[in-house]
């Protein structure tokens, strides 16, 4: 039986597009039941509409407080009734109540080799630090920022003369492979979490 997945995205949605295509070509045994976004102008909305995926827009700017936004987001996620929620360029930190509700069912993609360089502008952080290797990480979401159990990582070499944009572009190519693969493993029930360790069976 195919898993139900929902994607949360705030921007272009290029990782979302890779997931859509992997599902379409039978590489992920799932159906995408929703795109949830905080940004009504996100290009991810257009991608979802082209693919016939229902869109739920919860415009952060319309809410008087973060708490009220979080309640609306939690309700939307409950209504999606997904087996897995995928954060694909979702630019807001999920509240504790959401993490508790869906523990072990939220996956995020981050453009660095965690636990290094959490938060925003991870690629620039890597360049500023002078590392020779960077990459991307897919991890389960917990209460800490970009600190949940690691599922998959991919590496890229940091080249002489790299700026944030150049490094981000090369990392993104790895993200496009890494995220669908992690989702596939989840949907095939091949991931087992033991504390901080995620094993593949």
Tokens at 60, concatenated: 């952060």
Separation between Cα atoms, residue 51 and residue 46, nearest integer Å: 9
Separation between Cα atoms, residue 188 and residue 28, nearest integer Å: 8
- The tally of domains found in the chain comes to 1
Each residue's pLDDT expressed in tens, for the chain with a length of 201 residues: 899 999 999 999 999 999 999 999 999 999 999 999 999 999 999 999 999 999 999 999 999 999 999 999 999 999 999 999 999 999 999 999 999 999 999 999 999 999 999 999 999 999 999 999 999 999 999 999 999 999 999 999 999 999 999 999 999 999 999 999 999 999 999 999 999 999 999
Residue 129 neighbours by CB distance under 10 Å: 11
Tokens at 128, concatenated: 């500023």
Phi-psi region of 17 (alpha: psi -120 to 50; beta: other; left: phi over 0): alpha
Separation between Cα atoms, residue 188 and residue 16, nearest integer Å: 19
**Residue 167: CATH number of its domain:** 3.40.50.170
Tokens at 181, concatenated: 């693969």
Tokens at 49, concatenated: 């509409």
Catalytic residues: 110
Domain that holds residue 149: 3-200
């Amino acid at each position: 039986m195919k898993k139900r997945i929902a994607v949360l995205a705030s921007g272009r949605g290029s990782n979302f597009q890779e997931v859509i295509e992997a599902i379409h070509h039978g590489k992920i045994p799932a159906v995408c039941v929703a795109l949830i976004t905080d940004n009504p102008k996100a290009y991810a909305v257009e991608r979802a509409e082209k693919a016939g995926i229902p869109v739920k827009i919860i415009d952060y700017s319309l809410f008087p407080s973060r708490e009220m936004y979080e309640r609306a987001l939690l309700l939307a996620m409950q209504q999606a009734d997904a087996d897995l929620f995928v954060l694909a360029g979702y630019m807001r930190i999920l509240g504790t109540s959401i993490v508790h509700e869906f523990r072990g069912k939220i996956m995020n993609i981050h453009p660095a080799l965690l636990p290094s360089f959490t938060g925003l502008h991870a690629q620039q952080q890597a360049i500023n630090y002078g590392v020779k290797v960077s990459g991307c990480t897919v991890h389960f979401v917990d209460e800490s920022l970009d600190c949940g159990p690691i599922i998959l990582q991919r590496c890229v070499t940091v080249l002489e003369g790299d700026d944030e944009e150049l490094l981000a572009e090369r990392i993104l190519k790895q993200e496009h492979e890494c995220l669908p693969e992690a989702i596939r493993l989840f949907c095939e029930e091949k991931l087992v979490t033991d504390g901080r360790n995620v094993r593949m069976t």
